[in-house]
Structure 1
Amino acid sequence: DIQREEEKVKRSIKDAAKKGQKDVCVILAKELIRSRKAVSKLYASKAHMNSVLMGMKNQLAVLRVAGSLQKSTEVMKAMQNLVKIPEIQATMRELSKEMMKAGIIEEMLEDTFESLEDQEEMEEEAEMEIDKILFEITAG
């Protein structure tokens, strides 16, 4: 709309110049300059408004992040209250002790079974020796 009016004013200036109306040309030229300045101010205002809008969107995003962080902190506090770290550590220590005992007991059982197997082997070997000696003594 403003640009159409600007074109009309330019035509009016040309018409006034053809007619030799210098005063009218000056007044219309000043009006044209004011119109251009107004358009420039409008564009500057629009840019400023866009800048303010972007700033507000940025602040909104920061507020959302802050809210999320606050909720995360609350969740972490709730988890901390639910999970008692010292109790878990004590339980883990007890479990570790029991596992150590079980490991030691397991080793002892393995040693006992190995010694039993050794005794069985020894008895078998002893019987074989006895059989061998008896065979030699009785000469078959």
Structure 2
Amino acid sequence: MFKKKTVEQQMKEQDRQLRRAQRDIGRDRGQLEKEEKKLEMEIKKAAKAGNKDTCAILAKQLVNLRKQKTRTYKASSTITSVGVQTKAMHSNMKMAKVMGTTAKTMGQVNKQMDPQKIAQTMQQFERENAKMEMSEEMINDTLDDVLNESGDEEEQDSIINQVLGEIGIDISGQMNNVNVPSNNLKESGSSAEFDDIEARLNALQTPGQ
């Protein structure tokens, strides 16, 4: 059982047939041109011999031959036109097929796509995204509060103790009564240095009053 030829196979076969026909017509035209030149020479020969009857017969044959040659040009032009039209039709068929497939795909997409449902999904996404942002902000605020409460004051107390320790002052959580051991002060014998240390102590004591 023979398989049915596809459109592409039919196109290739027809194109081969058209090219073969063009070659055959070209060979026929070449033979007619040879015959034409031969008749022209015979007509000239008969004319020189004064044979009018022969000239008339040969002239009639030459007219018919030239008509046949003209027909070959027309046939060749027709074959070319057929080939062009066939290719154009094949191209249009391909385009129509592609457009049909595209239309079918678009129809399937339109059936599956629900604009109202998509809009609801987008709205739900926006709501959930807003909730997530609010939750993240609340968590960050809570973490900031916890970190500030648990570490900041201790760090501040540590810095104050370090500064007081550098100048020889011991702090026990209150800064109201500050005792300055005399052995921790630099023994410079200068009243200006003592006044400077006392001013620093008063500055540290002021927030606690």
TM-score by length of 1: 0.79
Task: Render the CA deviation track for 1:9-56: whole Å, top value 9, x for unaligned.
Answer: 223213312321023213312321331132122202321331133123
Aligned residue type for 1:92: M
Mean CA deviation greater in 107-116 or 78-87: 78-87
Corresponding residue for residue 63 of structure 2? 33
The count of aligned residue pairs is 140
Aligned residue type for 2:102: S
Asked whether 1:131 is paired with 2:172, we answer yes
**Residue 68 (structure 1) shift:** 1.0
Corresponding residue for residue 42 of structure 2? 12
Corresponding residue for residue 92 of structure 1? 122
Corresponding residue for residue 104 of structure 2? 74
The structure showing larger relative contact order (alpha-carbon pairs under 8 Å, at least 6 residues apart) is 2
SS in 2 for 1:37: helix
**Residue 4 (structure 1) shift:** 2.5
Runs of 5+ unmatched residues, structure 1: none
Aligned residue type for 1:133: Q
Mean CA deviation greater in 80-89 or 43-52: 80-89
What RMSD in Å do the two structures reach over aligned CA positions? Answer: 2.7
**Residue 139 (structure 1) shift:** 4.9
Aligned residue type for 1:62: N
Distance in 1, matches of 2:86 and 2:57, equals 43
Change beyond 3 A, Cα 1:122–1:7: closer
Mean CA deviation greater in 114-123 or 91-100: 114-123
Distance in 1, matches of 2:44 and 2:152, equals 131
Corresponding residue for residue 43 of structure 1? 73
SS in 2 for 1:131: coil
Distance in 1, matches of 2:61 and 2:42, equals 11
Q: What is the percent sequence identity of the aligned residues?
A: 27
Aligned residue type for 1:72: T
Runs of 5+ unmatched residues, structure 2: 1-30, 162-170, 182-209
Asked whether 1:113 is paired with 2:117, we answer no
Higher Rg: 2
Corresponding residue for residue 23 of structure 2? none
Mean CA deviation greater in 39-48 or 64-73: 39-48
TM-score by length of 2: 0.56
Distance in 2, matches of 1:28 and 1:120, equals 127
Is the helix fraction higher in 1 or 2?
1
